[in-house]
Amino acid sequence: MIGKMMEFEKNRVMTEKRRIEQELEILPKGKLCLVRNRSWTKWFYYHNGERHYIPKRNRRLAEQLARRKYLTERLEQCNGQLEAIEAYFTRIATSGTENKLLHNKDYQELLAPYFQPQNQELAHWAEAPYERNPYRIENCIHMVHVGLWVRSKSESMIASYLYQHKIPFRYECALKLGKKTIYPDFTLRHPKTGEYYYLEHFGLFENGEYRRHALSKVEDYALNGIYLDQHLIVTTETTKNPFSVTQLIPQLQATAFI
């Protein structure tokens, strides 16, 4: 219940943030300064390091700059709210003591039946051996549960969410796309239909070369009939906007995984 409320609040704040940013784009640039002397007030604004006087006949400019100041402070508050919400979801996803139990072999064996997909065929598929990406496998240093290690903290958050919600998946399983063999971050099977879905997490999206490679990979999927928002799920992150499971949840809901 709290999670849904937080997700609703995040969407509300993001909508407000976008509206503020759009309005700031069309408002006059500059910082308003009010100078009061006894019973009267003078208006000034600073722009490009210079101070300009605003005469009373140009009251509209003063009003717009006052609006800019208000919206700028409100935007800062929105950013703070979003940071707090993301921190909440990150803590919930990564800091729970229940995750630590899955790192204990004895506990994980006892708990495993509670996290297995209800469809036994899909459960066997998820547990069966498969051809996995051999590239620098020593870089898989983040444990999800006993027997599964992934390359990044964000991927561990994704894998933990899938596992705990009984979604059958394989990590970096080989996939033939025409003459190419690629290794999707996650290969999913729909819990009800058994259909195949692919989930890619692009974790360095502000890097131009990395981004071009990521978009090329999405194009390869499309050329082979696997389309974004259909059977391809993509999550991204940048240094300023780290990954949160709240980014993944709506996509899984849209495809009726959860």
CATH number at residue 245: 3.40.1350
Domains in the chain, number: 2
Residues 9/247/87/155 CA torsion (nearest 10 deg): 160
pLDDT in tens, the chain (258 residues): 456 677 778 888 999 999 999 999 999 999 999 998 878 889 999 999 999 999 999 999 999 999 999 999 999 999 999 888 887 776 665 545 556 777 777 887 888 888 888 899 999 999 999 999 999 998 999 888 878 999 999 999 899 999 988 999 999 999 999 889 999 999 999 999 999 999 999 988 888 899 999 999 999 999 999 999 899 999 999 888 888 888 888 888 888 887
Domain boundary among 73, 94, 115: 94
Rounded to the nearest 10°, the torsion over CA 118, 116, 157, 6 is 50
pLDDT number for residue 208: 87
79 and 101 in a single domain? The answer is no
Same domain for 152 and 193, yes or no, is yes
Structural domain boundaries enclosing 239: 97-254
pLDDT score, position 225: 95
Tell me, yes or no, whether 213 and 103 share the same domain.
yes
Total residue count of the chain as it appears in this document: 258
Domain end: 61, 94, 127, which one?
94
Residue 15 sits in the same domain as residue 37: yes
Q: What is the model's pLDDT at position 37?
A: 81
108 and 155 in a common domain: yes
Task: Answer yes or no: do 55 and 149 share one domain.
Answer: no
Alpha carbon distance 37, 15 (integer Å):
40
Same domain, 124 and 73: no
- 178-213 burial code (b ≥16 CB/10 A, e <16): eeeebbbbbbbbbbeeeeebbbbbbbbbeeeeeeee
Tell me the CA distances in angstroms from 103 to 39, 148, 160, 192, one per residue in order. 70, 10, 11, 28
Per-residue pLDDT at 9 = 84
pTM score: 0.65
Within this chain, do residues 139 and 236 fall inside the same structural domain, yes or no?
yes
Contact 68, 32 (CB under 8 A): yes
Same domain, 87 and 103: no
Cα separation values, 83 from 18, 76, 245, Å: 16, 11, 14
Asked if residue 106 and residue 170 are part of one domain, the reply reads yes
Both 236 and 170 in one domain: the answer is: yes
| Chosen domain end from 76, 94, 112 | 94
Q: Note whether 200 and 237 are same-domain residues.
A: yes
